Structure 1
Amino acid sequence: MSAVRPQILVIDDEPQIHRFLSPALDAAGYEPKRADSGQEGLRGIALWSPDAVVLDLGLPDMDGKDVLVRAREFYAGPIIVLSARDREAEKIAALDLGANDYVEKPFGVGELLARLRASLRQTADRDAPTGPVVVGDVTIDLDRRLVARAGQPVRLTPKEYDVLAHLARHVGKVIGHRDLLTAVWGAAHAEDTQYLRVVVGQLRQKLEPDPAQPHLIQTEPAVGYRLGG
């Protein structure tokens, strides 16, 4: 029996986009689905529950950002916005409304596929419960989103928890700055390492016996961070 291929719904009114993107998705191991308008796209999301959505902002019947808002009311999968609008404000608005990534037209299919793979990996990491991870006297319960130190609950901000949980899902392995930033803040912030430094510093204050000599969250200079080991 052949494996089920991830479904990717492309919502775009340009036939040429579908003509070259559908074969590329198929060749990359995905099952492409097509919608030519915002309403058709919303129906497709509801009907197929695709693994990811590629959404154009310039649709004939409604603005793509409105599609994004309505889709986020019932769909939690990755949405990659595809648009000829290159203004920074458009990108920020789309990301703030729930897009996982933003790719400008014209685009290379290789880049789009790479961003699609990254978004799907992030979703898999987020959705895969792995039970409690114990490092020293710190317990991270990924199923219940709870953190304890020496048996006592530790209150974390959402971003602090997301960074810690991403490290915990790969305990003992070095996670690069870009991977952590993309997983927690989104691709638009892949270079904003100052965000990461601040949050890691806050986590060390809450979880390390001596934040100045960290053992729980270790720094790999110029590379990233590692939890434990």
Structure 2
Amino acid sequence: MATILIVEDEAELVKILRSYLEASGYSVLIAKRGDQGLALWETHHPDLVLLDLNLPGMDGLDVARAIRRKGETPIIMLTARVEETDRLVGLELGADDYITKPYSPREVVARVRAVLRRSGAVRTVNSVLRSFDLVIDLDAHTVTRGGDGVELTPTEFNLLVAMVDQPGRVFNRLQLLEAVQGTAYEGYDRTIDAHIKNLRAKLEADPKEPQYIETVYGVGYRFRKE
């Protein structure tokens, strides 16, 4: 499991990024100050750093300089700055990628995967998930059950991937909503129940006695471990 260090002082943004990255199988460390982020990097040696430029305690560019003096950890800079000079300075310091706010959390996860793949820092995240008789191809965006294709909507597909990627983990409705929509505020969390019902209708032999997606009463849902 790759470890991603997020150095960012916007709490809501950190919450969403963390949810997406963990749903994609990454371990996540959080720092809200630049100096704290550098200390975590020195202590934990993460596989990649998501680094905001405007930080209290220590500017993001200074953090990047300090990291580059001591190591080659991949860095993706996150910033609201739009000036070309800021971008060029960041890249000249050795940043591997540069994302300007606002951005999609899915885009960030995709960039993280791409940078890790290019750097060879860790094993590439599996593009195919398998559990029981289900095969989920992330690149082709297809699902088969026992060799037969299963037609899912994009929301159903993302919901299934989030759960299958971490079997046995209990997700509450808000976490699942974030995983499929990108933010906790774009929909009512009870809509997840409708998506789960539709998924079960397409995947389960008997939706009333589900074998894949289990309900954890009072909490949410989980995909059953083999």
TM-score tier after normalising by the smaller chain length: 0.5 to 0.7
Alignment counterpart, residue 180 of structure 2, candidates 184, 205, 218: 184
Q: Which 5+ residue runs of structure 2 have no aligned equivalent?
A: 1-41, 65-72, 114-123
Conserved? CA contact 1:5–1:31, under 8 Å: no
Please name the residue that 2:85 is paired with: 40
Please name the residue that 2:196 is paired with: 200
State yes or no: 1:161 paired with 2:127.
no
Conserved? CA contact 1:9–1:44, under 8 Å: no
- What is the TM-score with the length of structure 2 in the denominator? 0.53
Write the deviation string for residues 183-217 of structure 1: whole angstroms up to 9, x where unpaired.
22123338732231121111111111122222211
CA-based RMSD: 4.2
Distance 1:216 1:99 in 2: 29
**Counterparts in 2 of 1:220 and 1:21: CA distance versus 1, 3 Å:** farther
Alignment counterpart, residue 125 of structure 2, candidates 124, 128, 132: 128
Residue identity matched to 1:138: L
- What is the TM-score with the length of structure 1 in the denominator? 0.52
**Counterparts in 2 of 1:128 and 1:5: CA distance versus 1, 3 Å:** closer
Q: Which 5+ residue runs of structure 1 have no aligned equivalent?
A: 54-67, 69-80, 82-93, 102-118
**Counterparts in 2 of 1:19 and 1:219: CA distance versus 1, 3 Å:** same
Write the deviation string for residues 67-87 of structure 1: whole angstroms up to 9, x where unpaired.
x5xxxxxxxxxxxx5xxxxxx
Report SS of the residue matched to 2:144.
Answer: strand
Alignment counterpart, residue 210 of structure 2, candidates 210, 214, 220: 214
- Higher-RCO chain (CA-CA 8 Å, sequence separation at least 6): 2
Q: Structure 1 residue 159: deviation in Å?
A: 1.1
Please name the residue that 2:137 is paired with: 141
Distance 1:143 1:32 in 2: 23
**Counterparts in 2 of 1:49 and 1:195: CA distance versus 1, 3 Å:** farther
**Counterparts in 2 of 1:42 and 1:202: CA distance versus 1, 3 Å:** farther
Q: What is the number of residues matched between the two proteins?
A: 161
Residue identity matched to 2:130: V
